[in-house]
Chains A and B, each alone.
Chain A
């Protein structure tokens, strides 16, 4: 095990936690403002580990971009849910899932490329 493996495993776990948090928000959970902000676990990963150790990897910018899109979708779904459009908000989880697939894909590619390098 090396430090990159641990770093990417951490990001992957935090990404899955992010999805769980979105889903829970749409099933009666609270909107955790700190978690969904730049000071949330993923924001912190990008601003510390990501920018410290992987700033030169082009996949990092792509990961940050997909995550920003996820954040935008999360806010949209929260607004729908709060506005009583519960079905529409639940339906929106499909978009979260698609963005998540992209995120994990880019992450796997970065991981693989660094392993082979």
Chain B
């Protein structure tokens, strides 16, 4: 059998080195993955000439360290995954090809037990390593996102065991993540909420469905704050649960605000009921008074404001001027004949001083029939100031006609004199 030919065609990448690391032989497979020809590497120093490291010095080179160990211990040495980028031929554009390698170094001894040569068996694990790298990058991304969230984030494995808590858990509870991951998280939940948390989790865990619930969690000051907790199962294509992801949002302030708003609105509603009752009561009183005034067997009117505008005129008062419209007009507008007689002046006084004015048997000359003829009328009257919010807002006029009385007395006096 041609062992040389056999060795060349072993379907594995192997290179044989002398104890001083010169390349003695290599398989076709080795030449293929390293993109070299036998002529380029045979007889060259393995690490200094054939595959020099562009980053590391010869002393630091892990391949040299491993070879040295194999040489000394005379036992197989396994090398951890290393990155060694292969220079690309000029024809392929030059530069380097990123490669990851796994290798073992097997010393082969002569009859006296000295190392005669070393076999490096290597395999190109670039694809596997790049995939691993991509996965850890995506894990990094997830972690970064979870840390950046304004919520407490957690994950469990498929069995429900906690596998991850973001840093916010630590800053919220004041308890180190490691402790929380063990059993510490249970102490954070309000004891009263624990049974419902357990029941809900069990239910959604069994059914493999998402879960939402409100619960209280203790913060680092020992205050229980309401949280809204959401948990979702992550499934593979076949629907098997791979893990659970949970978030916990602090809704304590919202709950308080909603409650306060409700209380304020309840107060407001009660107040509006009171306003309604008070208004109806005042309205009833006002109507009662109005009826009383309207039907009173004496003259009543209410004058509003500094201009003495007729607001309410009862039947008896209206009979003083049966043909005149009084309501809504000012005294000056409605009764121009009294201006000269000084009554407006009296009203102004009451309005400005707030003092009532009482008069007896006063003569007033009125054009009662609106025909230009002034008639003598004797009245007893009171101007009573009306207050609103402790300020004069109008005048209540109360009067009764004493004309007959006065005239009779005058007649009696005349008779007595006669």
Binding site for B on A (CB under 8 A): 1, 3, 6-7, 9-10, 13-14, 16-17, 20-21, 23-24, 27-29, 41, 84-87
Contacts and interface: CB of A to CB of B under 8 A. Distances in A.
A1 B286 CA distance: 14
Contacts, number: 64
A28 B214 contact: yes
B163 interface: no
B251 interface: yes
24 contacts: A6-B275, A6-B276, A6-B279, A10-B272, A10-B276, A13-B265, A13-B268, A13-B269, A14-B269, A17-B262, A17-B268, A20-B262, A23-B261, A24-B261, A27-B251, A27-B259, A28-B214, A29-B262, A84-B211, A84-B213, A86-B213, A86-B228, A87-B212, A87-B230
B258 interface: yes
Contact size range, B: 20 to 34
A32 to B, nearest CB: 10
B255 A28 contact: yes
Nearest to A1: B279
B283 interface: yes
B269 to A, nearest CB: 5
Contacts of A29: 258-259, 262
A23 B260 CA distance: 11
Given A1-B279, A3-B283, A13-B268, 6 more contacts: A6-B276, A10-B275, A17-B266, A17-B269, A23-B262, A28-B226
B212 A85 contact: yes
A27 B217 CA distance: 16
Given A10-B273, A13-B269, A86 B214 contact: yes
A29 B276 CA distance: 29
A28 B228 CA distance: 11
Contacts of B272: 9-10, 13-14
- Pick from B212, B226, B261, B279 the residue with the most CB of A within 10 Å: B212
Given A10-B273, A10-B276, A86-B228, A27 B254 contact: yes
Contact of A16 (B200, B226, B265, B283): B265
A112 B394 CA distance: 31
B213 A27 contact: no
B200 A84 contact: yes
Given A27-B254, A27-B258, A29-B259, A86 B268 contact: no
Contact of A17 (B212, B265, B276): B265
Contacts of B273: 10
A14 B265 CA distance: 8
Nearest to A7: B276
Contacts of B255: 27-28
